[in-house]
Amino acid sequence: MPTTTMRYREALNQALREEMQDDENVFLMGEDIWVFQGAFKVTQGLLEEFGEKRVRDTPISENTIVGAGIGAAMAGLRPVVELMTISFSLLALHQTVNCAAAIRYMFGGQVKVPMVIRMPQGAGHQLGPTHSHSLEAVYLHVPGLLVAVPTTAADAKGLLKAAILDDNPVIFIEHESLYGQRGEVPDNGGPMRFGEAAVRREGDDVTLIGISRMALTAEKAAEELAADHEVEAEVIDPRTLRPLDLDTILESVRKTNRAVVVEEGWPHGGVGANLAALIQEQAFDYLDAPVGRVTGADVPMPYSKPLEQAAFPHPEHVVQAALATFRDV
């Protein structure tokens, strides 16, 4: 299939444009997505093409934005709501958890909430604790929500198209450091399936599972492990956390007999804790060492650049954790 090289943000923009062209019920809501074209320029050019009715600037009130999106979705529209950062999404937890995630269940399936809540997360831009955290574990915890964490430009486009078409509320988490990353995107690519992990690199010695940007960090670590330690790591990118492609992860662990989960979020109650529990429950007899975990530091994200860099994982941390699985035998 022919492909085009584009940035992650451009792939998201293309997905929005194509789905808005295909379905007039798809519309956008968010702060500064209109004339300013989004904090990360994902909505660039969409106002000119689709007009004010379908590209709507909102007040600075996450609770209101998400609540209005829920109402629109219940009435038959397909809103794509943009929040400026996942940290601000905490202001809309009631709407998201108590309403969007539960309405279809409470109404016995008579009402659907087909909406997407897009939001960036992650450290590396010296934006301090209120703009830099990784909170995917908060939404992973909630039944009724789907959770996507795309890493590549191709996945960003394919999963966003799938999210818009889905009849359930989708938490769509983008990483701030990925918006400028380039990648090959299929020219006529359609929506991707949720719940299908990607094997980014094959190997026989240890399984590295990277969440969001940490999938790229895990790939870099795998290259270093091969070059410097003759350890061939297999790298798994889950791509979606709800639903989770646990089968692909377990298949890899049963082959390598070792696993390390890499995430940017906090260690307590994180995605890695959940995956480590699932792996030891369902692949315990195959493990030659405890499941390793590499996480962000258990602190609010520092503003200081050196401290911020020390507060989230880098390839050397993953290498150390992978090598530790051999010492524990």
Q: Which of 10, 19, 31, 62 is catalytic?
A: 62
Amino acid identity, position 83: L
Q: Using CA atoms, how far apart are residues 54 and 275, in angstroms rounded to an integer?
A: 39
Tokens of residue 220, six digits: 């870099």
Reference 100, options 143, 132, 70; nearest CA is 70
Amino acid identity, position 187: D
Q: Where are the alpha helices (DSSP H) in 30-83?
A: 46-50, 62-74
Backbone φ and ψ for 114, nearest 5 degrees, come out as -80, 80
Q: Which of 82, 131, 175, 219 is catalytic?
A: 131
Q: Is 314 a catalytic residue?
A: no
Q: Using CA atoms, how far apart are residues 277 and 237, in angstroms rounded to an integer?
A: 18
Backbone φ and ψ for 34, nearest 5 degrees, come out as -90, -100
**Residue-by-residue DSSP string for 95-152:** IIIIIITTHHHHTTTSS----EEEEEE-SSS---TTT----HHHHHT-TT-EEE---S
Q: Is 62 a catalytic residue?
A: yes
Q: Where are the alpha helices (DSSP H) in the chain?
A: 8-22, 46-50, 62-74, 93, 103-106, 136-140, 153-165, 214-229, 246-256, 271-283, 305-310, 315-327
Task: Give the DSSP H or E segment for 201.
Answer: strand 198-201
Backbone φ and ψ for 72, nearest 5 degrees, come out as -65, -40
Catalytic residues: 62, 131
